[in-house]
Structures are given as C-alpha cells and as structure tokens.
Amino acid sequence: MIKWIETTGRSEEDAISAALFQLGLDRDDVSVEVIERAKSGFLGFGSNPAKVRVSYEVEDGSPKPMMEDLLEEISVRQEKPRQVEKKPQPREERVLSAAPVQEKEEEQPAAPVEEETILSAKPGWKSQQPRRDRRNEGKRRPAPGQLQEGDEVLISSREHKPLRTETPAVPVSEDDEKAQKIATFLTGLMEHLNVQAAPEIFVTEEGNYKVRLQGQDLGAIIGRRGETLDAIQQLTNYAINHGQSKRVRIHVDAEGYRSKREEALQRLAVKVAGKVVKYRKNMTLEPMNAYERHVIHTALQDYPNVTTYSTGVEPNRRTVVAYAPGQK
C-alpha cells in the first residue's frame, strides 16, 4: 500500500526533514516530490515556504509508523470510516485500494491504468492519482497500455535497440596523437578546477576513447547525479572533435560512477516494472538524459506485461513505465 504526506518548511530540505520526523523513516525509504519551491521574496515580502510530498510504501496489515498513527488520531473526526465488506473484492478493486483513502471519492471502474511518478532512483515511489471527471465516464476508455489523445511524443521500448556492447578497451599507444590531446585537455581542466586527478586513457576497436579519472575525493567532479561529470564529458568531446572531419566518441568516468549508475538504473527499472504489474498503474521516472533513458528502455524491453516510452522536453524528459497486459 502506498501512502504519502505533505509538509512545508523554509527550504525543501527542511520540509523533507519534517516529513521524515513525522513518519519516523529514513531518506532512502521514501520518494520526494517538490510541489512548491521556497521563495525568499524581497525584503521579507512575497516569501513562500517550500512544500513537498513524501511517499512511502507499507505492507498491508503491517504496523504503521508511530507518528502517522498520531496524525490519523488527530484527523479521524474529519474523515469518514471506511466500510469493511465481508464479501471478498474482485482483484481489480483490491488493486485500487492501494491508493490513499482521501483521494477515493467515488466508485471507480475495474482495472484502470493510472499514472504514478517516481522521482528518485532510490527505493520508494510516489502515488499521484488524478481526480476522475464524471464528464468523461461515458466515453470509451482506451485499453491498458494504449496511447490516449493528447499524449506527447512516445517512444516504445521495442523501438530501442539493445545497448551496443563495445569490445574491451586497451591502453593507448604513446604515439596516439588523439589520446595525447585528450590527456592535455583534461589535465589542464583538472588543474583549473583545483582537482588532483590524472586521466588514464583507453581505446576500443571502434576507435572510441574511454577515460578514467584517477585521484582522491573526486565527488566534486562527479556532481549531483553525475551532472558535473556529464558537463566535463561534453566539453572534452567538443574540444577534441571541434574542426575535425572525423569525430570520435570520448567516454569520461570517475571512480567507476557511470557503471555503478547504470547498474542502479537497471535495478530501478526491474523494481518499478514489478510495481507496475502488481498495481496495474503507469509509473513515471525522474528526468534523465538520453543515455540513462536508453538504459531503462533496454532493461525492460523483454519484461512481460510492460512497455516503456519517453515523454516531455529536455532537460525534463522522462521515461514512463506503462502497464501493457499481454505484452511480451
């Protein structure tokens, strides 16, 4: 069962900390959606606190967090008690009962495919159910997994080719001018950033280069979710390929971050796909770059009853893991 609470604070971190304190959970046990960012205003005017929604998963019948029980006791007078039916519910209705109680205001059709949002590659996922419009109830609903009118450009997982596996890279030779140019550029860039890191360069049979930055405390050049490392890689590719008739691909890594990130994304993809099949609800991942979205598509291209597509515009383009019964 998925539950969530909303909290506010002077900053996003303060709001998240308040939610974790109320739930008695750790940061890795929840997923966070920033609803409203904090605004400082001008001279104290127009300032607004940050508002976040923190979602967490609990097993049916498992004890609830202590702080949550206290909150429910306070608000119990404002909520109607749920009706307990002795008659066993159909499977489709049991799936719908996983949604928060306060959002279930009317009887819903069986086995709908609803949209969920995943905002972190860490364990935990968020429930976000749109309210149902009675005006659309008489219209024909598309089958689960089918596209609806108004959807953005979609990319099916089956349209993606598997990730190309390059041959093992070998150390470059001393007379490799391209490698020398890469080493000179990255060494100068590291000195400019006041980072003690030395590049180790390898070349593949395809003629592409792989660079491993070796050093200590390289977190500064990796950045949040690898954003700084991506920027360094883009700068390196531009500097080396600028004005050249034949372009080469340069892959820059530090402390094995990219391989670890790829493994984490593959685990996330399988975990989310399992939840999609279990709850019969589409789930949207956090914004990712094209390569990371490709990792998700490829990881799930053979997953039964699941398909994937991308939606949105860069840099906020996301991957949707959709429920598609019968998909193999």
- 99-103, 152-156, 269-273: which has the minimum mean pLDDT? 152-156
Q: What is the pLDDT of residue 8?
A: 86
Beta strand pairing status for 50-57 and 2-9?
A: antiparallel
- 129's CB contacts (< 8 A; 6+ apart) are 99, 100, 103, 114, 115
pLDDT of residue 156: 37
pLDDT at 49: 84
Share of the chain above pLDDT 70, in %: 64
What confidence category does residue 270 fall into, taking pLDDT thresholds of 50, 70 and 90?
very high
Mean pLDDT, rounded, for 14-28: 79
pLDDT at residue 61 in the model: 53
The predicted model gives 24-36 an average pLDDT of 79
* Predicted pLDDT of residue 232: 92
Between 28 and 81, the higher pLDDT residue: 28
Q: What is the pLDDT of residue 3?
A: 81
Q: Which of 61-75, 179-193, 267-281 has the lowest mean pLDDT?
A: 61-75
pLDDT at 170: 78
Which whole number is the average pLDDT over 111-131?
46
Q: Which domains does the chain have, with CATH numbers?
A: 2-79 (no CATH), 134-163+260-323 (3.30.1370.50), 172-255 (3.30.300.20)
Residue 46's pLDDT is what?
Answer: 64
Bond from prior residue into 315 cis (ω within 30 degrees of 0): yes
Q: Determine the Cα–Cα distance for residues 5 and 158; give it in Å rounded to an integer.
A: 37
The answer to whether residues 73 and 30 touch, using CB atoms and an 8 Å cutoff, is: no
What is the band of 238 on the pLDDT scale with cuts at 50, 70, 90?
very high
Confidence of residue 42 (pLDDT cuts 50, 70, 90): low
Strand pairing partners for 270?
none
pLDDT at 258 over 60: yes
| Per-position DSSP letters for 86-100, written without gaps between them | SSPPPHHHHHHTTS-
Helices (H), 127-242: 177-192, 219-222, 227-241
CB atoms within 10 A of CB 292: 21
Q: Which helix (H) or strand (E) holds 169?
A: none
Cα 199 to Cα 184: distance, rounded to the nearest angstrom: 9
The CA distance from 293 to 309, in Å, is: 9
Nearest to 236 by CA among 194, 179, 191: 179
Kindly indicate the confidence band of residue 108, based on its pLDDT and cuts at 50, 70 and 90: very low
Whole-angstrom distance, CA of residue 195 vs CA of residue 215: 8
Which two three-digit tokens encode residue 193? 């950033």
Question: Is pLDDT larger for residue 307 or for residue 43?
Answer: 307
> What kind and span of H or E run contains 197?
strand 197-203
Calculate the average pLDDT of the chain: 73
Within 8 A by CB and 6+ apart from 96, the residues are 104, 108, 112
Nearest-angstrom CA–CA distance, 298 and 278: 21
What letter represents residue 42's amino acid?
F
pLDDT tens by residue, 197-236: 999 999 988 889 999 999 888 888 888 878 899 899 999 9
